[in-house]
Amino acid sequence: KAKMIDLLHKTYNYNHKNYCLIDMVLVIIEGSNRDMGTTYDLLNNVIVPNMQKSRILVVINQADMAMKGHHWNHVTNTPDSVLLSYLEDQAVSVRRRVKEATGVNILKPVCYSAEYGWNVQAVFDFIINNIPRHRRPLM
C-alpha cells in the first residue's frame, strides 16, 4: 500500500512547476469475483484518500462471468435482462460502499466484457469523457 500511495504522490517538474505524475486512476474490477474485500481496501484506503474523486474511474470487467456465467447469451454475446439488472446492482453497490467508507461519491462504474467486446465502447467513452483537462496539481 505504501508504495502505491508514494506513486500517487510522485511528482515531476515541467516549465518550472511541479505536477503529480499520475493524473487519473482506472480501477478494473473482476466481475466474477465474489470477495471484494481487497478491492474495497485498495479503493477506500489507498486511492480515494490520495486522489481527487473526479480522477477516479472504476470499471467492472468479465460481465459475462458474473452470476457464474448464467444469463449470458452466447449467441449474441450480450447479457440478458436478469444479468443486466445484476450488473447494474453491482455497479451501484461498488459506488455505495465507497461512499459509505470514505464519504466520497465516485462515478458509477461501467460494466463490460473484454472477451466478448460487450460494452467496451461504453468503457472507452467513460474514460474519454472523464479525462482531466488539466494536469493534477499537488495535493
Q: What is the pLDDT of residues 4-28, one digit of tens each?
A: 999 999 999 888 888 899 999 999 9
Three cell numbers at 73?
447469451
Please give the pLDDT value at position 139.
60
Q: What is the pLDDT of residues 66-114, one digit of tens each?
A: 999 999 999 999 999 999 999 999 999 999 999 999 999 999 999 999 9
DSSP 57-87: EEEEE-GGGGGGGTTEETTTTEE-HHHHHHH
Helix (H, G, I), strand (E, B) or coil at 134: coil
- Whether the model clears a pTM of 0.75, i.e. scores above it, the answer is yes
Q: How large is the C-alpha radius of gyration of the chain?
A: 17
Select from 19, 81, 134 the least CA-distant residue to 73.
81
Please give the pLDDT value at position 121.
98
Other CB atoms within 10 Å distance of the CB of residue 57: 20
